Every structure is written in structure tokens, then in C-alpha cells.
Amino acid sequence: MKKSLSTLIIILLTSALLFSCSDKSSQEEKKWDIRDQTIEEQAPDFVLEDLEGNKVALSDYKGKVVLMTFVTTWCPYCREEIPELKTLYSLYGPQGFEVIAIYIQEPKKRVSNFVSDHNIPYKILLDPKGKVARAYEVRGVPTKFLIDRQGTIICQACRSVDVALKMLFKDQPS
């Protein structure tokens, strides 16, 4: 009786383990599917100044896919992501993709020098009081938001933007 009870327990535990592993594998596959990650929340509109003093609204980009990243000049991780953002911008820009880097509570002169030193080709906006960062509940930098053509946030604190962009632009001609 003890042996059959032990066998039954082993079978049940093995089945539970196999079930959880197959479920985990299925979850791993789904986590990269952007359609299952959409936040389905409208991105709050805002107006900020760019480095030339022009007023720029997020709503100006309706009809385009936008990667909005909140950054600072002193953040090492923000610096590390610049080459990737440049690559994504050059790759998908012609298909209607925009990158907007929002510098939080930084002086215009410092940001301007930083952008010049790093040859940043995409749009730079200044959030001098951190008002927009607070509206988006940014807790650290860099924080990215991917926004679709309708102004819906697709992902927040996006880790694999390149995967999401491939999915969003897969039906677009290159």
C-alpha cells in the first residue's frame, strides 16, 4: 500500500510539474506577441518645447508609431540605448516611425550639447519641471513607451522594442 501511494504521489507531482512547464513554455511564446501586451490606454497628450523652442504636442504624431523615451544626460543606461534608438529610427523612420526623447529636468544648454556630442537624429523635447514624466508615472530613466498610430500605448517600460516594431511594421513595405 505504501509503495502504491508513493507511486501515485510521484505520478501526481510529475504531472503537475509537466503541466506547469508546458504552461510556462506557452506563456514564454505569448509574452513576445505584442497583441497580447497592448495596454489599450490612450497616451496622455502634452505640449513641450524642442531644442529650437518650438512647441511640440504628442498629438502632432498621430498616424505614426512613436517610441517615447524619458531620459537624462547623466544616466549611463540612457547613453547605452542611443545607438539602438538611432538604428531603429533609421530602419523604421521611413515607414512612419518616430523616436521622441524627453529630457527630464535638465537645462536646455546641457541637453543641446549632449545631443550634439552624440549626433542624435531624432526629436528631442525638454520637460523642465518633470510634469510630463509625472503624468506618465515615470519612476526611473530610461523609461520607454511605444505608442501606435491611433495614440494607444502598446507597451510601457518596453524591453524588446525591436520585436514589437517588427510586428507592427511586418505588413509595411520596406
Q: Enter the C-alpha cell of residue 81.
A: 540605448
52 inside domain: yes
pLDDT tens digits for 44-60?
999 999 999 999 999 99
The answer to whether 42 and 156 are in contact (CB under 8 A) is no
CATH number at residue 158: 3.40.30.10
Whole-number Å distance between alpha carbons of 115 and 112: 5
95 inside domain: yes
pLDDT of 31 above 80: no
Q: 74 and 11 in one domain?
A: no
The answer to whether 89 and 122 are in contact (CB under 8 A) is yes
Q: Is the pTM of this model over 0.85?
A: no
Whole-number Å distance between alpha carbons of 32 and 51: 35
Polymer length of the chain: 174
pLDDT of 76 above 50: yes
Q: 90 and 60 in one domain?
A: yes
174 inside domain: no
Q: 70 and 22 in one domain?
A: no
pLDDT tens digits for 92-115?
999 999 999 999 999 999 999 999
Tally of structural domains, the chain: 2
* Owning domain of residue 51: 36-168
